[in-house]
Amino acid sequence: MATRYLKAAVEADALADYKMAFISGPRQVGKTTLAKQMLTSSANYFSWDNGDFRKQWSKSPLKAIELAEKGPVLLDEIHKDRNWKSRIKGIYDTVGNEIPILVTGSARLDLYRKGGDSLLGRYIPYRLHPFSVGERDYPITPDEILQSLTVEYKWSDLMALGGFPEPFIAGNANKAQRWSRLRLDRLAYEDTRDIKVLSDLNAFRVMLDLIPDKVGSLFSFNSLREDVGVAYSTVRDWVLLSENLYYGFFIRPYSKGIKRSLRAEPKFYLYDILQIPEKNFSQRIENLTALHLLKACHFWTDTAQGFFELHFLRDKEKREVDFLICRNRKPWMLLECKSGSTSVSSNLVHFKSQLKTPLNFQLVDKRNFDKEFPAQNVRIINYEKFFSGMI
């Protein structure tokens, strides 16, 4: 497989400084493959799913990795051990200055910060995302947007196959849908057990089937509770659990500096866009856009290029702009998703004038379109071209 965009950053940022690198992300997004590319020997790969290693690790973590050769060591899915945090701290405090350590997991590893000895200062967290249009070995910085255009993965292919490596590389849309369904089954029935015991796994699975219809809309826990037939607190816990397992992610409204802003519910998007029915084309476009933007926010934040957050805008007059990126807590980039409209969005201009955002884009599904409107400080550009100049 091709080198992923995080490799150089992890090696230079964490491993070279003998900090542990914690790489998390959705199931089957390529975390283990990425981490293995940084190993000098296959003997340095240790998986919690290997029974012999698991037994030895439980007795003596240091002894469990004693056969490792020189170079980084990979501990895969080790967070499934309830005592992993204290054990890995013991390893790091003993040999951390000699052995670079990689840790991978399909759940948010910051979930495990509570309790036990603190790992603070000993590791750097990274979040790996699916493929994107402009993914490259050395991603651009926030100040290099659209200066270098690279179409590594076509927008149309990502729309049809999603961005997860296995189905994308296979290139078969029907098999990609089957892969997506089976992946979701494993997330629902297997991955949940590593975090929480659920009272009704089947109801949880039904909930995951219902969420895709709500992508891009204001997310109501109460509405979902009625659909699933469980208590409000239960459905809320389940949705947050699904977020922690990288099923999807919330983006929240931004209100600072917005006149008559609406403190509305958040919106929810999926890491696997194949869960959204193909007929819901506009939802897929918006979700894929959200994925690209979140990937950039996470990469720039994780690699210490600033603090980046993804929001949306909505006021009491129901004016709305799909996405706002804040850079170091200040509004920085506005983006509106359109299908084919090449007239500047009045909502985009309205919020731009209030927030004074330096970057304002309207993305359109119109091949090769790219036009600047200096009077409004807005650039209308095709999805693929825009994201070829991003991460």
At 167-205, the pLDDT tens digits run 999 999 999 999 999 999 999 999 888 778 788 999 999
Q: Provide the residue range defining the domain that includes 290.
A: 142-388
Same domain (yes/no): 222, 250: yes
Same domain (yes/no): 146, 277: yes
What's 78's domain CATH number? 3.40.50.300
Same domain (yes/no): 285, 364: yes
| pLDDT digit string, tens, across residues 337-380 | 998 889 999 999 999 999 999 999 999 999 999 999 999 999 99
Same domain (yes/no): 90, 176: no
Same domain (yes/no): 261, 332: yes
What's 333's domain CATH number? 1.10.10.10
Which pTM value belongs to this model?
Answer: 0.95
311 within some domain: yes
SS3 294: helix
In which residue ranges of the chain is pLDDT below 70? 1, 110-117, 261-262
Domain closes at, from 72, 98, 127: 127
Q: Given this model, what pLDDT does residue 262 score?
A: 67
- Indicate the Cα dihedral angle 343, 345, 349, 354, nearest 10°: 180
Tokens encoding 52: 């012999």
326 within some domain: yes
Query: What distance, in Å, lies between the first and last C-alpha atoms of the chain?
Result: 18
Same domain (yes/no): 99, 238: no
132 within some domain: no
The total number of structural domains in the chain stands at 2
273 within some domain: yes
Q: Given this model, what pLDDT does residue 1 score?
A: 63
Same domain (yes/no): 184, 288: yes
257 within some domain: yes
Q: Given this model, what pLDDT does residue 317 score?
A: 87
177 within some domain: yes
Give the list of residues 6+ apart from residue 4 with CB closer than 8 angstroms, or none.
Answer: 30, 33, 34, 37, 128, 135
Same domain (yes/no): 157, 101: no
Same domain (yes/no): 159, 274: yes
Residue 49 and residue 151 in contact, taking contact as beta carbons nearer than 8 Å: no
